[in-house]
Amino acid sequence: MNLLMHEEVVVRRGERTGIYVVVAIHSTALGPALGGARLWRYGALGDAIADALRLSEAMTYKAAAAGLDLGGGKAVLCAPPDRELQAAERRELMLDLGDVVESLEGRYVTAEDVGTGADDMAMVGKRTSHVVGKPVEDGGSGDPSPVTARGVEQAIRACCEHRFGSGDLIGRTVTVVGLGHVGRALAERLAAAGADLLVSDIDASKRASAERLGARWVDPTEATARECDVLAPCALGGTINPETIDGLRCVIVCGSANNVLASDDLADGLSERGILYAPDFIANAGGLINVYGELHDLGRDRLDELVDGIGDALRRVFDVAAARSVTPLEAARAVALERLEAASESGVAQAAAL
């Protein structure tokens, strides 16, 4: 089997809403394909399918590199191009999604993503049991952000250890870009660990809460160019791009944002500048681990153990990168692929033995 190709792609118009629901299952080699449902406006159905294919593949790498027994999948819901979804139609769309997920008989498990939330997942749960990320009152794991922040802190410590010989954060200067759900929780953790914090957000109303943490406020246009030990992008993707890369004055880039690099070749650019990059899908795996815990009913201690394992996963990636003279991004993909190959080979061996 070609491990880089998708196993299954479903495109179905919702029975109730007529809205297209796309589910892409990239891999189930390690377990059910888990990935959120994105509600987004696409120019054409083909764009939605392309997005589902790309995002589901990324989920395979994320789960494999984090050592989880999960595959990669993603759902995409094509929001109407010309109007906002009304509450009743949104609920019906979630029921439509639930039907599609149920028809896949557990090969795909859905969750919240951009444009959807825990309440939507509660609605999906009326049609299928293959859903996580539900509200706490519905038996779900609730907001994953604090868990994601815990994992990013572990990743930052592993980076500091690799670069400075110690994971101690006392006196380390960290610039947190984006004081949202994860950024805020991360900033609190870093402040408690004794880091010297710089904080930035395009929403200036966040300044007061940043200063209450003892952080220095930085204008968002200058954030990536401020001198610091660690730049922690926790906003949207593309913080490292052709315009910002030359101005960087950090030693490490490690944050929660997905797609921190506007394109993969920037990983080479960071290495050439001597900047250590923690691949985003390793550093921000806490959110996925959180819903994995919900899926398997893991207790708090086991969940914390898995999240703290993000530091070890990153150490392994840095070792592989050094041994093979490749970037950490390339090494992280190789580590994930090796796990998939091993799972696939043992699957073939088991089938042959039957």
Cβ proximity to ligand NAD: between 73 and 144 the closer is: 144
Interface with ligand NAD, residue 256, by CB under 6 A: yes
Q: Is the distance from CB of 151 to CB of 288 less than 8 angstroms?
A: no
Q: Residue of minimal CB distance from ligand NAD?
A: 180
Cβ proximity to ligand NAD: between 182 and 317 the closer is: 182
Q: Is the distance from CB of 193 to CB of 149 less than 8 angstroms?
A: no
**What track of x and - describes contact with ligand NAD for positions 288 through 307 (by CB under 6 A)?**
--------------------
Interface with ligand NAD, residue 287, by CB under 6 A: yes
In whole angstroms, give the CA distance from residue 106 to residue 128.
Answer: 9
Pick the binder of ligand NAD from 141, 145, 271, 327 (CB under 6 A). 145
Q: Is the distance from CB of 140 to CB of 132 less than 8 angstroms?
A: yes
Q: How far is the CB of 90 from ligand NAD (least distance, A)?
A: 19
- Write the DSSP assignment of 56-111 as a string of letters: HHHHHHHHHHTT-S-EEEEEEEE--TTSPPPHHHHHHHHHHHHHHHHHTTTSEEEE
In whole angstroms, give the CA distance from residue 167 to residue 159.
Answer: 7
Residue among 74, 126, 134, 206 flagged as catalytic? 74
Is 74 annotated as catalytic? yes
Interface with ligand NAD, residue 264, by CB under 6 A: no
Q: How far is the CB of 95 from ligand NAD (least distance, A)?
A: 25
Strand duo 108-112 + 33-40: pairing: parallel
Interface residues for ligand NAD in 182-241 (CB under 6 A)?
182-183, 200-203, 220, 234-237
CB atoms within 10 A of CB 33: 30
Pick the binder of ligand NAD from 135, 180, 309, 347 (CB under 6 A). 180
Interface with ligand NAD, residue 175, by CB under 6 A: no
Strand order in the sheet with 108-112: 8-13, 20-27, 71-78, 33-40, 108-112
Interface with ligand NAD, residue 177, by CB under 6 A: yes
Residues that are catalytic: 74
Binding residues (CB under 6 A) for ligand NAD: these are 144-145, 148, 177-183, 200-203, 220, 234-237, 256-258, 284, 287
